[in-house]
Amino acid sequence: MGWKLKTVQTILSILAFYITFAVGEDEEPRSECADFNNMTWLEYHQQGSKLQVQYLLLTRKNTDCASLFSQDFLSNNTYFNSSQPTKIIVHGYRALGSKPSWVKQLAQALLWVQDANVVVVDWVYGASLAYNMVVENYKEVAIQISVLINQLQNHGCKLESFHFIGVSLGAHVSGFVGTLFKGKIGRITGLDPAGPMFKRADTFDRLDPSDALFVEAIHTDSDYFGISISVGHADFFLNGGMDQAGCSRSRSTSMYSYVICDHMRALHVYISALNGTCPLTGIPCSSYEDFLKGRCLGCPGRCPRIGLLENSGLTVFPLPQPNKLFLLTTSAPPFCAHHILVQLEVFLLDKSAEVQVILRTGGHPETEQRLRLQTDGTIYSRVIAHPVPLCEIDSIQLKNTGAHFYRQGDIHVVSVCISEFPSVGEVEPLCVKKINVRRGSPWNHDFVQLCENY
């Protein structure tokens, strides 16, 4: 276990370094504006176990200039309004003591959607030790936050009006605050909750559905820095929860893209969902593979959506535990993709084969998917992400791409159909029947769109 812990600490140190220099810092604040504690290298080595938690307040009255906020300033603070909801942002591990550069962007996105108090928890000092020491201290941070929550209750705030947004380790800090208040906090959003040292932890020690009236999580790096298990009433697993579109898998690219791009994607998707005009909707399914094969039927009513909808749009009671939700995204903001189900039926093959399906729409990048065809099956299906809805797709192309690796010659296709997934209204699948796909000779078909009122 020792070498594993050191490996995690080393990786997380690299992560913090590249968050600082690859993502970039916020502009220097004006002298009268409050800002994060920002440690020097000397302070980093000398600070010991100091936590020094402080709070910054942003509202629609001071969106660009945070004010220091504490129980002592409550009576004199002209910005805080106890009758409005309160959003509390909690950052995660900060290996080099750098401030999180994304905080203002997230706070402003929240304020754009809702008139609220946004309180940012600055625990950079406590989050900048070795990772195992930070994990040992995170509950103390939660206890300090709970003192502030108690004071805010004394000034008229209700527990159900609090919404915690915790990033990485900050998700578990938020969860423990919820535990201290016996699950009566209104809402907790975990943005890729931290995985190292939490994947096998008891529910008392990590975020779980009992921590708030509604708990949601967005998973984007569940095979590395994030947690792989469901931790809320609604768990959105983007692209299966790992290997995000646009994040390089090659070591030759920048360290940011290679090391932390997947982990930070949950944050960027959440901000985009708050700012964007297109929905990021999750589809309930037992597994990612079943989702990709189109085996999930959708939702009774509206499917859950990332953002600030009450209970993410869930209308069933009691709330499900757990509720795995899957969706595909694109590589850049606003990250929204239309789920298109491709269904291919072929005559029984003598030998294995591979077919490449390409969808084209004018003015947009084409989408492609490879299907491996075996000798013991005739029906194949796959859900793919496409930038436009079904009724805007111009053409489809099939290629027999297995010639160099498989021995199958021509592929006799019974039918190929594309449809919205899950099905939307009365829109019928677009199908073409009786196709012969030859080696080295792609088959193409243009669609004449007849979808009305889409």
Contact 373, 346 (CB under 8 A): yes
From the list 93, 90, 91, 92, the residue with the least C-alpha distance to 10 is 93
Task: Write out the catalytic residue numbers.
Answer: 168, 192, 263
CA–CA distance from 372 to each of 320, 352, 378, 386 (Å)? 35, 8, 11, 20
Rounded CA-CA distance 13/138 in Å is 18
Report the sign of the C-alpha dihedral through residues 325, 429, 273, 123, in that order: positive
Buried b (16+ CB within 10 A) or exposed e, 246-283: ebeeeeeeeebbbbbbbbbbbbbbbbbbbebeebbbbb
Q: Are 454 and 427 in contact (CB under 8 A)?
A: yes
Token look-up 């399914």 returns 285
**C-alpha–C-alpha distance, residues 196 and 131, integer Å:** 9
Cα 333 to Cα 26, 47, 454: the distances in Å are 20, 39, 24
Query: What is the bridge-based pairing of β-strands 395-400 and 443-446?
Result: antiparallel
